[in-house]
Structure 1
Amino acid sequence: MRKCFTKAGFVKEGYLRNAWGNADGTVTDSILYGAIKDDWALAEQLLLRWMMYLFKIKYRLKRMMRMYTENEVLRALKKSWSIHSSSKWSKDNPARGHCGVTTLVVNDILGGKIYKTWLDEGWHFYNILNGERKDFTQEQFTYNPEYHDVRSNREEAFQDTNDIQYSYLKSQVYVYLRKS
């Protein structure tokens, strides 16, 4: 708030009273600000602009920091999978070839850890969220894979995709998440 006042042209003239403690443990103080009478209207307009600007930033940050549920993320992933996010994608099996890129995007949004297991087709990546295995691309298989829970990382999962596919899927997922 102090930055708002000073950027708006108000000048700090002194303290109105000493600092006092709040019930939540924070400390508050009041500072007396003033402006030359001729500059008051301009300073008032600038102050309002700065306050609106800070409010918009705070509002945007809240929207960006929104927590999403696993179901919301899964719905957004299913709508986002395409030939642009995996060269193995098909209408019959949209999750095919998406394990690495999906694991990375889920890790970005929901956090958790990245694990892998060896299958006949090669390494398969998935997430561990709150101690539970979550394989968002399991539907690509006609069988239930046997998970060996080998600890992995983002670099290994990224070897299964590329920058273009990752950026595309992540942006599409966020588009669908914002609509929900």
Structure 2
Amino acid sequence: MQSSHTAASAVSAVSVPRRIAAASWKPVLFAVLLYLAAAAGEIPVPGTPVPITLQTFVVMLAGLMLTWRQAASSVLLYLAAGALGLPVFAGGASTMALVGPSAGFLFGWVPGIIVIALLRGKADLSTPGAAALTAGRYLLAALLGGIVVIYFFGVTVQSTLTGVPVFTVTLASMGFVVGDVIKAVVAALAASGLSKLGR
């Protein structure tokens, strides 16, 4: 009896690290993708200090493919790397980006990615109609979490830090919206397609 209990404890002790590794590799992967999206380059937008990068696309994709906990962990891990002084943000910035005009967009990724992950629902690819509904639901989740929520935080914080009226900041930020809608469409199609591959 004692030996079977010891064997069960040993198996449990081995399986805990294995479960932790299985649960953490995806958030780490998406945190690295966030960094690579920033390192790939940025496009400045006149009238706003926030550049265009592919990071919003990565946030949307992570929200559509991970659990809300894993998705939030990927963003928090990325933000923590920047807070520790690593040059992981756009333009090679680190800690100062977390207190600058783009800080609201960075911190807005956390509630945004959680909203995406919670709204997307389960993938149903059993028929072409069900697959289309899944892609449509994914798109709606990406638009609400990846644009509405993130922009709310980004515009509010940028307006507060710069003293520029919210309406003016919102108007200047409209240069991003078309690109982010395209990113949402691509993320929804990619995530629903990858869900099909995983079946």
- TM-score normalised per structure 2: 0.28
Q: Which structure shows the bigger proportion of residues in helix conformation?
A: 2
Which is strand-richer, 1 or 2?
Answer: 1
Higher relative contact order (CA 8 A, sep 6+): 2
**Rg comparison, structure with higher value:** 1
